Amino acid sequence: MTPKNIPNRERLIFAMDVADPQAARQLVEQLGDAVVFYKIGLELFMSGGYFELLDWMVARGKKIFVDLKFFDVPATVAAAVRQLSGRGVTFATIHGNQAIMEAAAAAKGDVKILAVTVLTSLDRGDLDDLGFTVDVEKLVLSRARRALEAGCDGVVSSGLEAPMLREFIDHRLLVVTPGIRPVENKPVDDQKRTVDVAQAFANGADYIVVGRPIRDAADPRAAAEAIQQTIARSLAGASA
């Protein structure tokens, strides 16, 4: 594990991928203290009421990850990131080149900036389609190095690449790992480069992002609590 003082129960980030703010509020209330940290992304942004929902969640002591993956000319990205300062946002994601990352980092204020490396829904074939000729691992490592140099606080990366990041990148870098599947991944799932909860932390992740395994469970709160217990056992084992 990385030497960071992160409360165990904040290491689980629930991906709030629902259709509207009303459904989001119902989930927050249903999950209760089983989830502290929430990721709210494009689906909720496009539904309307995004910032009202954000403020409502912050008022209830929740931590917020704004996952809008800002990607535009550097000045526009900087202006967008600046709008998040002072709103109680913990993380925000960006895409893009060195100039975009530097602009976001310079404008971040009290928000930690996470650079997306390679989406966990992409594999080698997808990168070929996009015109990238490097291996996934080399691309992730390059993106992570450049993010740290640009002043970003961390990266979003598959747990499969986390060991490499811990070996070759400064431990100051936060590693946030999506594509977590507590059980074997279903063929219909769009996530391709996945790990389970224990493997993510063993590989060096600081946080995990979990969506469907909680949202689609018969009892979402019980599912979230089960993941919290797995996190606690994993971290206890790592420190033993």
Please give the positions annotated as active site.
69
In whole angstroms, what is the distance from residue 35 CA to residue 92 CA? Answer: 19
C-alpha distances in Å from residue 166, one per residue of 20, 171, 173, 205: 37, 6, 9, 9
Angle formed by the axes of helices 98-106 and 136-150, to 10°?
A: 40
Which phi and psi angles does 32 have, rounded to 5°? Answer: 55, -135
- Strands annotated E in the chain: 12-15, 37-40, 63-70, 89-94, 112-116, 154-156, 174-177, 207-210
Question: Hey, what amino acid is at 22?
Answer: Q
The answer to whether 224 and 28 are in contact (CB under 8 A) is no
Q: Which of 8, 6, 13, 51 is nearest to 215 (CA)?
A: 13
- For 181, other C-beta atoms within 10 Å of its C-beta total 16
SS3 158: coil
Neighbours of 68 (CB within 10 A): 17
Give dist(CA 209, CA 72) in Å, integer.
Answer: 25
